[in-house]
Structure 1
Amino acid sequence: MSDALPSQVEAKPQLPIEVCERVIEAVYNDYYHFVSTSLATLSSCALVCRAWRPRAQKVLFEYVLLRDKDALYRFAELLDASPELGSYVHTLALRGYLHVPYSPAVLFLAALRGRLTNLAKLYINSFDDAEKAANPLPEGEKELPFLPIYQYFPSLLMSISHIRRLDFVDVRFPSFGDLARFLNALPNLKDLYCYRISWAVLGLDPVCMAKRSSHKSRKMFLPNLEFLTCVDLDERGRQRLLSALGPSLRALWIKFPNEPASVRTEHHCVEQKAPSLALSLRSFPYLESLVCLIAPFLQPNQTLESLRDTLVSWMASSDDIGGDLSPSQRYIHLAPASRSLFKREDYVALLRTIGPVVEAALCKREAAEGDLQDQTSGDTDDHPETDPSQARLLVADLGDRLEWEDWWREAVSECFPMLSRWKRLYLYPTHAYFPTHKWQDHNLTPQEYADRLQAMAEARRHRKQKIMNKFKFIATRGVLVRRRQKWKPS
């Protein structure tokens, strides 16, 4: 009888392995501040069971993060034991103390040579000040003034010549020529990110960066580069890098004002002229996107002048070298370098200052003046208005809450009236590239902001009225004194 009864053990439902694999893939996040947590979670996933291990391991080794030489050598030993893992690696990140005698940024080429056949991205990031404080060097060790690059280092770079993206963050080279030779060994680069790159000596122009009169005579410098980011580089080095590139460049990220990472060490006997702060973009006729990161202007006139000259050279590039980009294909992006540097009204005030400079550079003067004359004379039927804009403007990365959207649209439209009128102004108030960066007055609501403005206006009106009453009192008292003197008997 008991044999006929159903079993008391309930069958536990199981998810299909395909669903588990999708969840494992969703764990991966290569954002700088989240990647360490993602890799730790994937390591745990690989130890759950045999069914989870293949997918977790494959995703885990797509992004390999190495912090020091010990981690580098452990990874090399792992590849000796399991060579197939090397084919999983698409991104290699070297993040830590790079300016030390046993720098992983220098040793990895020899330790991993020929093993990362599918490597596509290389990130070389030095610790920032906060990370150095959290991870101090062992007692007795000190940082070197720059990367310990040796004689055969450029030749070893040929083993990763197939990579498509290279990121440098807070890296110091012995000379600008060492940086140039590093880049010249990677002809397949499509995306180059340079943030706070410096060097001890600028030196002469490297031979590998010289412009070639003929594409067939000698190899060009970075012939396939399409996306370039130059943020807080020394002005002379930035100019050299741009002047060496060909017309393949499609997108450029720069910052205003540009703040170099450190002062170079040069020969005192060599007299140097102050470099131009403006970039010449005349040699890039197919440059579709120009992203300008905006920081507070410490020297407004100088920064505005460099912004104007850079934009003018960009507009002139299609005339100089026969570019075929239409105004609808060209975009200039204005975005805050970090929202934490501004209050909302401070950023709008800066855009209001930038507005006339940007519109003067992006709009054809003849068309704009012709439209103005037609409007003043009232004769607009025979002379239809023509769109003067040569590019579109995108104000991006405002990253605000939805309730601020209308306020942003109205405020930004007032900063760029001509582009707004011709519908060449685009705005994304709620989109954010870096969600962790917030405005200084992030918690303020639009109503609180309006109330604060009204209170400030009332305070100004009250102060003005108080000053006026004081002047009236002084004037009235003067009249009374004069009358008393007149009535006083002699």
Structure 2
Amino acid sequence: MTDALPSPVKAEPRLPIEVCERVIEAVYDDDYRFVSTSLATLSRCALVCRAWRPRAQRILFEYVSLRDKDTLYRFAALLDASPELGSYVRTLALRGYLHVPYSPAVLFLTELRGKLTNLAELFILGFDDAEKAAKPLPEGEKELPCLPFHRYFLSLLTSITHIRRLDFVGVRFPSFGDFARFLNMVPNLKELYCYRVSWAVLGLDPVCMAKRSSLDSQKMFLPNLELLTCYDMDEQGRQRLLSALGPSLRTLCIKFPNNPPAVRIEHPRVEQEAPPLALNLRSLPCLDCLFCLLAPFSWPDQTLESLRDTLVPWMASSDDVGGDLSPSQRHLYFAPADRSLFKREDYVALLRTIGPVVEAALCERETAEGDLQDQTGGDTDDLPETDPCRAGLVVQDLVDRLEWEDWWWAAVAKCFPTLSRWNRLSVLAIHSWYPGRQWQDHDQTPQDYARLQAMAYLAEARRRLLWMVGSRVLLRGRAASDTT
């Protein structure tokens, strides 16, 4: 009977640990919409077994999100108990109520100083109105007018001078000078993102942003900055920031129209004047990528003027001594700020409106016919045409179904005929880094759209016909009355 029983076999793992580690790595997604879910899953992975714990823990602490002072204190205590975890942190996100007495955006420098040796990215993200409504402050607590800076705050920034990326969302500084001095303390920045950034006092131009005549790049303001994003930021502060930057900047992301936060900006000792809506990009000769988000134009004439006055200096900057970009290197990008604000035809109508402004800025003016005849003896028929485009245009983030791709290409090409003719126009109709929201008429097909458009044309034709008939009847009635 004993011989019939199976002999005990030592249990072995079904999968090599290397395969399990690959699966654990695939769990993490750094997209802010999925970070919370990813971190929760990684926490469970770290509790499965000892073999899974090292890799799950290393990935789990790559991105740390702190929402208030209590979570900040708990995380600091954890690092005191296990200092090696601090070396895993690559990204630190401070998201929540920032303008409060115990703001995590100010306290983290004291609590975590020297503990995050490999920190590369810092996100300081304030709640928007919807998040504040969903998670109100405890009764009796109120927000402050701005970040509660203390006298030693800027000196503590020396502990994070090595970071490469910095994000500000919904942050209000005591003054523009405080904002500039914050940036000046992190000179190794390569990427800076500013969304809805403001200040209680604009004040005078800070000394740290003054242009340096020295050839030493380390004495410049943000000498390594390559990418800058400014969405819905105060106009004067945005222009000051751009004017202080140098040839390191290669990519700029802006929005038309720009809608600064609805807060009052005080200007002591500074003359009250209307801020310029256009950005002067002439001081950025190496700027090869200009990315523009487009929202509905509340004031079309003013926004078109701002767009034109921004693009013309950008094109002129390539003619400066410091600029050496060829037309094949320089690109302008258009993307909808929020697709849910548009129907497809509405967005095409917007592109049709800005088309002449864009082509006038991006394409060289044609040589006068008389001048050309003088140079060639009057015979111009056999001369090859030269490409007038000084930059390429990319219309992207349309994020539509495949069946709409041809429609988008045809519609956008009509908005930019010169760029399309010289193959300097690209339309990315179905791809996007950020799928986001859908068009208002997302469920329609091209056939539905064509049918509705035909019906609209027919209704317009009928309206015009009735108007013409009515006008003729009215004229005949007047003529009859005159004869009598």
Shift of 1:388: 0.5
Shift of 1:160: 0.3
Residue 116 of structure 2 corresponds to residue 113 of structure 1: no
Mapped contact 2:194–2:229 kept (Cα < 8 A) = yes
Mapped contact 2:203–2:268 kept (Cα < 8 A) = no
In the other structure, the counterpart of 1:242 is 242
In the other structure, the counterpart of 2:254 is 254
Shift of 1:312: 0.8
1:358–1:57 CA distance, 2 compared to 1 (3 A) = same
In the other structure, the counterpart of 1:332 is 332
Counterpart CA distance in 2 for 1:142 and 1:368 is 66
Shift of 1:101: 0.3
1:206–1:386 CA distance, 2 compared to 1 (3 A) = same
Counterpart CA distance in 2 for 1:353 and 1:371 is 31
In the other structure, the counterpart of 1:348 is 348
Identify the range of structure 1 (170-179 vs 130-139) with the bigger mean alpha-carbon deviation: 130-139
Read off the aligned partner of 1:328 and give its amino acid letter.
S
Shift of 1:263: 3.4
Secondary structure of 1:204's match?
coil
In the other structure, the counterpart of 1:357 is 357
Counterpart CA distance in 2 for 1:304 and 1:478 is 45
In the other structure, the counterpart of 1:165 is 165
Mapped contact 1:334–1:395 kept (Cα < 8 A) = yes
Shift of 1:467: 3.2
Identify the range of structure 1 (467-476 vs 218-227) with the bigger mean alpha-carbon deviation: 467-476
CA offset digits 1:4-26 (Å, max 9, x no partner) = 46579998982322222222111
1:248–1:477 CA distance, 2 compared to 1 (3 A) = closer
1:244–1:471 CA distance, 2 compared to 1 (3 A) = closer
1:370–1:424 CA distance, 2 compared to 1 (3 A) = farther
Secondary structure of 1:132's match?
helix
Secondary structure of 1:98's match?
coil
In the other structure, the counterpart of 2:125 is 125
Mapped contact 2:175–2:199 kept (Cα < 8 A) = yes
Counterpart CA distance in 1 for 2:49 and 2:445 is 49
In the other structure, the counterpart of 2:461 is 461
Residue 428 of structure 2 corresponds to residue 442 of structure 1: no
Secondary structure of 2:309's match?
helix
In the other structure, the counterpart of 2:65 is 65
Read off the aligned partner of 2:194 and give its amino acid letter.
C
1:417–1:123 CA distance, 2 compared to 1 (3 A) = same
> How does the TM-score come out when normalised to structure 1?
0.92
1:250–1:268 CA distance, 2 compared to 1 (3 A) = closer
Counterpart CA distance in 1 for 2:316 and 2:268 is 38
Counterpart CA distance in 1 for 2:409 and 2:371 is 25
In the other structure, the counterpart of 2:312 is 312
In the other structure, the counterpart of 2:25 is 25
Aligned-residue CA RMSD (Å): 2.6
Secondary structure of 1:459's match?
helix
In the other structure, the counterpart of 2:418 is 418
Mapped contact 1:90–1:119 kept (Cα < 8 A) = yes
Mapped contact 1:230–1:253 kept (Cα < 8 A) = yes
Counterpart CA distance in 1 for 2:49 and 2:4 is 35
In the other structure, the counterpart of 2:99 is 99
Identify the range of structure 1 (217-226 vs 46-55) with the bigger mean alpha-carbon deviation: 217-226
Mapped contact 1:198–1:262 kept (Cα < 8 A) = no
1:152–1:8 CA distance, 2 compared to 1 (3 A) = closer
Shift of 1:366: 3.6
Mapped contact 1:292–1:335 kept (Cα < 8 A) = yes
Count of aligned positions = 482
Counterpart CA distance in 2 for 1:392 and 1:43 is 46
1:47–1:354 CA distance, 2 compared to 1 (3 A) = same
Counterpart CA distance in 2 for 1:177 and 1:254 is 22
**Structure 1 portions without partners, runs of 5+:** 486-490
Read off the aligned partner of 2:235 and give its amino acid letter.
E
Counterpart CA distance in 1 for 2:369 and 2:306 is 25
Counterpart CA distance in 1 for 2:2 and 2:251 is 77
1:48–1:462 CA distance, 2 compared to 1 (3 A) = same
Counterpart CA distance in 2 for 1:366 and 1:472 is 46
Shift of 1:29: 1.4
1:479–1:197 CA distance, 2 compared to 1 (3 A) = closer
Secondary structure of 1:156's match?
helix
1:148–1:3 CA distance, 2 compared to 1 (3 A) = same
Secondary structure of 1:320's match?
coil
Counterpart CA distance in 1 for 2:368 and 2:317 is 21
CA offset digits 1:333-367 (Å, max 9, x no partner) = 01111111111101000000111111110111145
CA offset digits 1:434-482 (Å, max 9, x no partner) = 2122111111111111111111112222223333444455566778889
Mapped contact 1:367–1:386 kept (Cα < 8 A) = no
Shift of 1:332: 0.5
Counterpart CA distance in 2 for 1:282 and 1:121 is 29
Counterpart CA distance in 1 for 2:83 and 2:163 is 20
Counterpart CA distance in 2 for 1:481 and 1:282 is 68
Identify the range of structure 1 (381-390 vs 14-23) with the bigger mean alpha-carbon deviation: 14-23
Shift of 1:131: 1.2
Mapped contact 2:90–2:121 kept (Cα < 8 A) = yes
1:81-480, aligned counterparts within 5 Å? 81-216=81-216, 219-266=219-266, 271-367=271-367, 381-473=381-473
Counterpart CA distance in 2 for 1:251 and 1:92 is 24
**Structure 2 portions without partners, runs of 5+:** none
CA offset digits 1:163-196 (Å, max 9, x no partner) = 0000000000000000001000001000000011
Mapped contact 2:157–2:185 kept (Cα < 8 A) = yes
Counterpart CA distance in 2 for 1:77 and 1:438 is 44
1:471–1:284 CA distance, 2 compared to 1 (3 A) = closer
Mapped contact 1:202–1:264 kept (Cα < 8 A) = no
Mapped contact 1:113–1:159 kept (Cα < 8 A) = yes
Mapped contact 2:212–2:220 kept (Cα < 8 A) = yes
Counterpart CA distance in 1 for 2:237 and 2:94 is 24
Counterpart CA distance in 2 for 1:45 and 1:378 is 79
1:481–1:206 CA distance, 2 compared to 1 (3 A) = closer
Mapped contact 1:165–1:191 kept (Cα < 8 A) = yes
Mapped contact 2:203–2:270 kept (Cα < 8 A) = no
Counterpart CA distance in 2 for 1:477 and 1:137 is 73
